Amino acid sequence: MAEVKVIWLGHAAFELDYNGKVKILVDPFLVASPKKADEFKDVDLILVTHAHQDHVGETCEILKNNPKAKIVAIYELASHLSEKCGVKEFIGMNIGGTWKFKKNGVETSITQVEATHSSMGIGAATGFVIRFPGFSIYHAGDTGVFPGMELIGKLYNVRLALLPIGSHFTMGIEEAVEAVKLIKPEYVIPMHYNTFDLIKADPNLFKELVEEATSTRVIILNPGESNTFFV
């Protein structure tokens, strides 16, 4: 049996740990995180969905303590960040593509998917599907709801979706409930809410509406809290 530990670091930042063998950070903006940039060890990959500062976050600081970690982003952003952080290697991808990462006998697939959002003119805004053996996670990035979410759920057999609910810059609760209906994951963790006044949202209302309309379970975390999934 394997364990997938999913830690919410506040906003859109997550730490994903597969059985203590593979460690992936997504959008490490740590303003609400009890764990600070210099406390991250053994990071393999840092996935960045788009160029906004509340998603790039502390990528460069984390790389300083994790020189083996690789930036994974859309090509233009990966190249831009590697220069900014002073690292040579990066994984530049694009939408629809998959990159396979092998470490400690574990193969993890990273697929870049679309998002309807902006990205400072550096590449396009994206989401990621992270497929560990037997467990698939969709991090939607910043996005509105879009019909292609149905295909993402189906193609990659998404079991856990990480979805923004804060509105103003992304989907709000009403749209995110529709996103859950399209993706049909087993679990959802809401993100991108209550970091700032502009994105205030009630995760309990989201949970109530999703669980009334679908068989998906909503897991509400506080920044720094985690949920472990067994596969």
Q: Which residues bind Zn ion (CB under 5 A)?
A: 52, 142
Query: Residue 80 CB, nearest distance to Zn ion (Å)?
Result: 15
- DSSP character string of 43-58: --EEE--SS-HHHHTT
Please choose, from the candidates 22, 14, 16, 18, the residue with its C-alpha nearest in 3D space to the C-alpha of residue 42.
22
**Residue whose CB is less far from Zn ion, 136 or 143:** 143
Query: Residue 172 CB, nearest distance to Zn ion (Å)?
Result: 15
**Residue whose CB is less far from Zn ion, 33 or 66:** 33
Are 135 and 158 in contact by the 8 Å Cβ rule? The answer is no
Query: Residue 52 CB, nearest distance to Zn ion (Å)?
Result: 4
**Residue whose CB is less far from Zn ion, 22 or 124:** 124
**Residue whose CB is less far from Zn ion, 44 or 57:** 57
**Three-class SS state of 179:** helix
**Residue whose CB is less far from Zn ion, 119 or 136:** 119
Query: Residue 125 CB, nearest distance to Zn ion (Å)?
Result: 7
Query: Residue 209 CB, nearest distance to Zn ion (Å)?
Result: 24
Give the burial class of 74: count Cβ atoms within 10 A of its Cβ; 0-12 exposed, 13-18 middle, 19 or more buried: buried
**Residue whose CB is less far from Zn ion, 131 or 192:** 192
Query: Residue 117 CB, nearest distance to Zn ion (Å)?
Result: 6
CA distance 195 to 66: 27
